[in-house]
Amino acid sequence: MSTWIDRRRAGVLLHVTSLPGTGPVGTLGQTAITWLDAMHSGGFSVWQFLPLGPTHDHGSPYESLSSFAGNPLLIDLQDCVHRGWLPAEMVHPHMDQVQHQQCLTHAGTRFWQQQADDARLRADIVSFTQQQAYWLDDFVLFSVLKQLHNGKAWWQWPEALRDRHADALAEIRDQHQDMIRQVIFEQFLFDQQWQAIRTHAEANDILLFGDLPIYVAHDSADVWSSPELFTINAQGLCDHVAGVPPDYFSATGQRWGNPLYHWERMQADDFRWWRRRLQRQLERMHLVRIDHFRGLEAYWAIPGESEDGIIGEWLPAPGHELLATLKRHFGRLPLIAEDLGIITEEVNRLREAFELPGMKILQFAFDGHADNPYLPEHHEINSVVYTGTHDNDTTMGWFSQLHEADRQRVLEHLHCRADDMPWALIETAIASVARLAVIPMQDLLELGSQARFNTPGTVAGNWQWRLTDIPATGDPLWTRSAALNQRHERI
């Protein structure tokens, strides 16, 4: 088995935005440190979260403005207060996104004033901009142009900017230095705050487990800066888009709307874009889940005018060549394959060829078929087991909505009573032979469907659930978790 993880471990699934706080979403900083300590007291040594990039207005972390940048909304403003860049009175409870950005803009102005007289700070920002220039320069320009055009998609900009004419971009750089410096500041500060989290995690033997969407958003710095790598026409529009056919999650499939890759062009330069993309993720985290792994073997191509995922065709992808290149470049591949949905033997062979662990979802296990691969007795050591993922209902919500016969089947298989849920399913995950077991925080809190984080194929009402507070070290939740993790040798 590959060395993607060193021993049996257990983790908690909680996106950064779900951390408590006074801002519009959870942030980095002391709250995240407190979370790591509390989680660790429960015997958990892996924190899994969703993609960290800046999002569009709907808030989906899987539809990011950049594969490389961090989301400024996640920046902890108290850090700016402590550094003297922001008056404490500007930070108050129940701040919205506009107020959060106003605070960041104020802090950015003070930062650039301070670095002029602070040699250490100046050296740090110069080092950051030089090391990250390969993506940062394009993202900065993209962000400034989005602001100047009131958030319009890049293919709706004037042709000279849409098509990246050098003289037009040079004029933007000359005329909007303050806006450019603000974006650089935000990415620099995000990086510093995240690295502080990583340092704290490593000091406590905690692994950070991130998420890499297989595709990028159509309206993103990635596509605008490298349109030749994507299925984009001369006007910037997609002839075909990504998605999946009908499956467990949706009877009409899912139309994600992402452009597809020109794989042959990516392969021609030894997958340079993919190598850089993964390198950036590994600078932040120890493990990376490849969302929709099956798209590396074959992908569902949907006509651009379709409104759902019903109509499409499977087309081959050079997944073996890509993974071989990544393995040659990085050596160890700390990757987890999200292998849910319609999975063929070809997909399984690709995953197994590179010894990548797949996912086992217990909520999918109890359909009455003895050969169901998600049943606990069919789990493999080289896998990650979940009660459910961010796309599932909570365990209590799922269990309460089962038909009576299905509910009884679950109870009989787990040898428990209804009152034992969700902890009976949690212990089943932790007891699994799978090398890593991950439990959503909503399940540890025994929450129902009101705490569901995402319903695939829908837009409204997702990505909003948050903790009201972090259960303190010594809370019965953590005590019970620690006992289970100890019993099943995950500590």
Residue 160 contacts by C-beta under 8 Å, 6 or more apart in sequence? 167, 168
Catalytic annotation on 338? yes
CB proximity list for 359: less than 8 A, separation 6 or greater: 336, 337, 338, 339, 340, 383, 384, 385, 386, 389
The two structure tokens encoding residue 370: 């003895």
Residue written as token pair 């087991």: 385
Of 291, 339, 427, 443, which is the active-site residue? 291
pLDDT of residue 1: 54
- How many domains does the chain fold into? 1
DSSP character for 85?
A: S
* Domain, as residue range, for 363: 9-487
Within a domain: residue 2? no
**What is the residue-wise DSSP string for 2-39?**
-SSSSS-EEEEE--GGGS--SSSS--SSHHHHHHHHHH
Flag whether 476 is in a domain.
yes
Pick the catalytic residue from 391, 393, 427, 443: 391
C-alpha pair distances (Å), 14 with each of 17, 22, 37, 281, 388: 8, 18, 14, 18, 12
The predicted-structure confidence for 267-313, as pLDDT tens digits, reads as follows 999 999 999 999 999 999 999 999 999 999 999 999 988 999 999 99
d(CA 276, CA 284): 13
Residue corresponding to tokens 């049943």: 375
Catalytic residue among 186, 338, 339, 443: 338
Task: Kindly state whether residue 1 falls inside one of the protein's structural domains.
Answer: no
Task: Please give the biggest Cα pair distance in the chain.
Answer: 71
Query: For this structure, is 391 an active site residue?
Result: yes
CB atoms within 10 A of CB 365: 23
Q: Tell me the CATH number at 458.
A: 3.20.20.80
β-pairing, 254-259 vs 240-244, is antiparallel
On whether residue 3 sits in a domain, the answer given is no
DSSP H or E run through 226? none
pLDDT of the chain, 491 residues: tens digit per residue? 557 999 999 999 999 999 999 899 999 999 999 999 999 999 999 999 999 999 999 899 999 999 999 999 999 999 999 999 999 999 998 899 999 999 999 999 999 999 989 999 999 999 999 999 999 999 999 999 999 999 999 999 999 999 999 999 999 999 999 999 999 999 999 999 999 999 999 999 999 999 999 999 999 999 999 999 999 999 999 989 998 888 776 889 888 899 999 999 999 999 999 999 999 999 999 999 999 999 999 999 999 889 999 999 999 999 999 999 999 999 989 999 999 987 999 999 999 999 999 999 999 999 999 999 999 999 999 999 999 999 999 999 999 999 999 999 999 999 999 999 999 999 999 999 999 999 999 999 999 999 999 998 788 899 999 999 999 999 999 999 999 999 999 99
Domain contains 4: no
Q: Which of 394, 346, 136, 166 lies closest to 125, judged by CA?
A: 136
Q: What are phi and psi of 74, to 5 degrees?
A: -85, -5
Known catalytic membership, residue 406? no
